[in-house]
Amino acid sequence: MAKYRKLGRTSDQRKALIRNQVTALLYNGKIVTTEAKAKEIRKVAEGLIALGIKEKDNFEEVTVTAKVPRKDKDGKRVKEVVDGKKVTVYDEVEKTIKKDLPSRLHARRQMLKVLYPVTSVPTENKGKKKNTKKVDLVAKIFDEIAPKYTGRNGGYTRIVKIGQRKGDGALEVLLELV
């Protein structure tokens, strides 16, 4: 007997499907899918959330100095002429960053093995590449999702049965973060 559902797909298709659905679940908070898929997705998603909870406070804050280009009121870089060439003017800024400790870095890499990269597109720019932003889903797990579930021992997702799908009669469910 298998320890997982095969979902009528080859292993690479099944892994891609599960990765895609887990990414969508963690990004949106809920997805609609079939019951069998939801039970498989739940295993992976709860594992990632548990890893995030375990490592959420495992970092140190470090102050670094960075050279940042000076910008004018329009947001364009300020340039000045030096020896007949236009050169960008830089300011030194001190920033505080989170530096992962080794175990949190390992957890981050484990999560990145499962999650696909996500880009958010503003509604006014639908279908255009302009103003798209890459979303750091791992940071979202550490900073938003994990603190919400700190006192909880498992059970981070909920499956609610919706009914049968019109086309093939498969039982559809809503898989959501609690």
All domains in the chain, ordered by first residue? 11-56+101-177 (3.90.1030.10), 59-100 (no CATH)
Mean pLDDT, residues 55-81: 91
The rounded mean pLDDT for the chain is 93
Residue 95 confidence (pLDDT) above 80: yes
pLDDT of residue 1: 60
Kindly state the average pLDDT of the residues 126-146.
89
Q: Give the global pTM.
A: 0.85
**Average pLDDT for residues 83-103, to the nearest whole number?**
92
Residue 145 has pLDDT above 80, yes or no: yes
pLDDT of res. 99: 94
Distance (Å) of CA 142 to CA 2, 48, 90, 123, 161: 32, 10, 33, 27, 29
pLDDT of residue 131: 78
pLDDT at residue 74, rounded to an integer: 86
Percent above pLDDT 90 for the chain? 83
First-to-last C-alpha distance (Å) of the chain: 31
In percent, the amount of the chain with pLDDT more than 70 equals 99
For residue range 159-172, list pLDDT tens digits in order. 999 999 999 999 99
Predicted confidence band at 122 (pLDDT cuts at 50, 70, 90)? confident
Gyration radius of the chain over CA positions? 22
Q: Do 20 and 7 form a contact (C-beta atoms < 8 A)? A: no
Q: Are 143 and 26 in contact (CB under 8 A)?
A: no
How confident is the model over 120-124, as a mean pLDDT?
A: 83
